[in-house]
Structure 1
Amino acid sequence: MALSRGSLERRSDLRSEPGLLETLLGDPSTRVVELVDGRALVREDADGHIALTYRSPVPADAGRFVAYLGHDAEVGGTAYVLSVAEAADASGDDSARHGLRSVGAQMGDLDAGVLTTATGLANWHARHRFCPQCGAPTEPAQAGWIRVCPRDGSEHYPRTDPAVIMSVVDEHDRLLLARGVGFAAQGMSVLAGFVEPGESLAAAVAREVHEEVGVRVTDVTYLGDQPWPFPSSLMVGFTARALSTDLVLQENEIEEARWFDRDELARAVADGSLRISRRISIARRLIEHWYGEEIDAPEVTLRG
């Protein structure tokens, strides 16, 4: 899983230290990843990987949202800090900025973990600026890992929304793919959906498949998971076996669904009549797990 490879030591024990961010921003050895609209400066390294372009702290960081991300794994290792900037005062060439979706799968483990964590934290803070209890503006605390309401004293922690995503196969080992409303033309993927309150992960798999395409499933089996900070999900991947093959599509959710055997999928990808998810997504990994090997397909974004 492309976004489950992070090797960053989060060091949560340091977050409550008084003046931690001020100390780190006063140390030129601190590595800062600067985000502008969710995009970071990147470059190609000597190994052909996409690497984050870090910088030292600058005075402007003191007026921005900043957060401590962690240290690398070495004893006394380097500290990493997020700084969220506006385009007008950002550093570097904007054309060299890219978001996690487009470059995360091509990064090394450390950079993938740094950018995934930075993206998730930045998205959460941008969407949770007010107290859900009293409506007052909240303030970052614990080095950017919580928000505190100065009016009622309540603490609010970054949320993660669990979502299930599943490869469904029938008795002939055909894979079910579907095109959701809003997908790009020819785009299809495995089914997915959010877990509801009071629901187990396996129950969410069965419910979502039946709701979206009218198929009952059994043998729901966990396969893998990864963070998906767009804005705040944890994608939990499963396989499942279909008990029927008749499809009844959920109105306003699914535009098309069909069963593919391996030859049909390979031909459709090759001739461009089928577009599948990027390698960064767990959807691509589920499809390739069923297929039996990596699939040579263009890196495209399915949602239009």
Structure 2
Amino acid sequence: MPASFELGEEPLLARANLDRADQVRKNPERLRAGWATARVLLVDHSGQYGVTEQGTLGWVPAISLGAEPVADAVFLALQVVDGHEVDSWALRVEETPDVFGEARSGAHRLPADEAGLLATALGMLNWHRTASYSPIDGDPLELVQGGWLRRNPKTGAEEYPRTDPAVIMVIHDGADQVLLGRQAVWPERWFSTLAGFVEPGESLEQCVRREVFEEAGIHVHSPHYLGSQPWPFPRSLMLGFEAIGDPADPLSFRDGELGDARWFHRDDVLQALGRDREWNGTNTDAELLLPGSISIARSLITGWARAPKP
């Protein structure tokens, strides 16, 4: 049995078409040679990054940071800028430039490739934050391959970037009702899809069923994969699903993650989507506020609400 609907469009952070240039990462001489014309995105410890007055990523010339690649910089991609191939890097800094952006509230304004570069930068820098030392013996690890590998210089043991898989699902009744939840710390009227991390020894479909039962206390069936999106907060891959539940089953917030969950009618969701409001608190009269366009949750909700009725 196929999925009952498709995503109307790819999630925002999954639209980039990047040349990650693995062959460049693995060539130290090539990385050094490209540094003179490269550009670097500076990101602070809270995830803020430089932006231009137009709201695009605020790159700085790599050469302004030193004659050779900075020790903690991460190579992102090889791109064509103004007709020339340019290496793009990211670097964690204490402070970003005066004009800065924040991914959760500003990434939806970026072109697709820049949004993808930002997601890559945040995911890689967040991994490096916790990967400076060997998990085996505590020895310091050196960065190699443009920051895409950490190696123990004494033993040669290697550590690769980590991505944590998580499922995110729109639960509906096969007709006109959809289940949305609100975490206890969220303001009233802010609702989104349910989600959770995949556990060892668990398939994605098993995780969908378990997470819904743990969070909302109901059993669902017929999970189907719909699409995915990187989510660099700190370094996850969100795997989007749909599944079927029964609105007659009583809800029970078993693990305490949800402060509320409700079944909403398709018309209510369409009305919320039609307001084109995101989680910004500007529409205090709305009965339902939906997640912002940066999240695959928005794509899942939109895809379900605007799909042809069964």
Aligned equivalent of 1:281, options 295, 298, 305 = 295
Change beyond 3 A, Cα 1:4–1:171: closer
Aligned equivalent of 2:85, options 51, 59, 77 = 77
Report what 1:296 is aligned to. Answer: none
1:131 CA drift (Å) = 0.5
What is the letter of the counterpart of residue 145 of structure 1? Answer: W
Report what 2:266 is aligned to. Answer: 262
1:138 CA drift (Å) = 1.4
Question: Is 2:157 the partner of 1:154?
Answer: yes
Deviations 1:111-143 (A, max 9, x none): 112111111111110121111000112121111
Report what 2:58 is aligned to. Answer: 53
Distance 2:256 2:220 in 1: 22
CA RMSD of aligned residues (A): 2.3
What is the letter of the counterpart of residue 161 of structure 1? Answer: D
Secondary structure of 2:192's counterpart equals: coil
Report what 1:249 is aligned to. Answer: 253
Report what 2:18 is aligned to. Answer: 8
Between the aligned residues of both structures, percent identity stands at 38
Aligned equivalent of 1:30, options 38, 41, 54 = 38
Using CA pairs under 8 Å that are at least 6 residues apart, name the structure with larger relative contact order, 1 or 2. Answer: 2
1:228 CA drift (Å) = 0.3
Distance 1:184 1:154 in 2: 46
What is the letter of the counterpart of residue 272 of structure 1? Answer: A
Change beyond 3 A, Cα 1:135–1:184: farther
Distance 2:33 2:175 in 1: 61
TM-score between both structures, scaled by the size of structure 1: 0.85
Distance 1:171 1:181 in 2: 27
Contact kept in structure 2, 1:20 and 1:143, CA below 8 Å: no
TM-score between both structures, scaled by the size of structure 2: 0.83
What is the letter of the counterpart of residue 203 of structure 2? Answer: S
Report what 2:102 is aligned to. Answer: 99
Question: Which segment is superposed worse, 259-268 or 180-189?
Answer: 259-268
Distance 1:272 1:143 in 2: 47
Distance 2:201 2:79 in 1: 37
1:76 CA drift (Å) = 6.3
Distance 2:108 2:30 in 1: 31
Contact kept in structure 2, 1:170 and 1:245, CA below 8 Å: no
Secondary structure of 2:73's counterpart equals: strand
Distance 2:255 2:157 in 1: 41
Secondary structure of 1:131's counterpart equals: coil
Report what 2:211 is aligned to. Answer: 208
Contact kept in structure 2, 1:9 and 1:73, CA below 8 Å: no
Distance 1:5 1:267 in 2: 26
1:171 CA drift (Å) = 4.7
Report what 1:134 is aligned to. Answer: 137
1:272 CA drift (Å) = 2.8
Aligned equivalent of 2:48, options 39, 42, 61 = 39
Secondary structure of 1:43's counterpart equals: coil
User: Which blocks of at least 5 consecutive residues in structure 1 are unaligned?
Assistant: 294-304
Question: Is 2:72 the partner of 1:65?
Answer: yes
Secondary structure of 2:50's counterpart equals: strand
Contact kept in structure 2, 1:33 and 1:52, CA below 8 Å: yes
Contact kept in structure 2, 1:8 and 1:73, CA below 8 Å: no
Distance 2:268 2:118 in 1: 36
Contact kept in structure 2, 1:163 and 1:195, CA below 8 Å: yes
Change beyond 3 A, Cα 1:73–1:173: farther
Contact kept in structure 2, 1:100 and 1:119, CA below 8 Å: no
Distance 1:124 1:189 in 2: 27
Question: Which segment is superposed worse, 100-109 or 231-240?
Answer: 100-109
1:187 CA drift (Å) = 2.0
Question: Is 2:178 the partner of 1:175?
Answer: yes
1:267 CA drift (Å) = 6.1
Number of residue pairs the alignment of both structures matches: 282
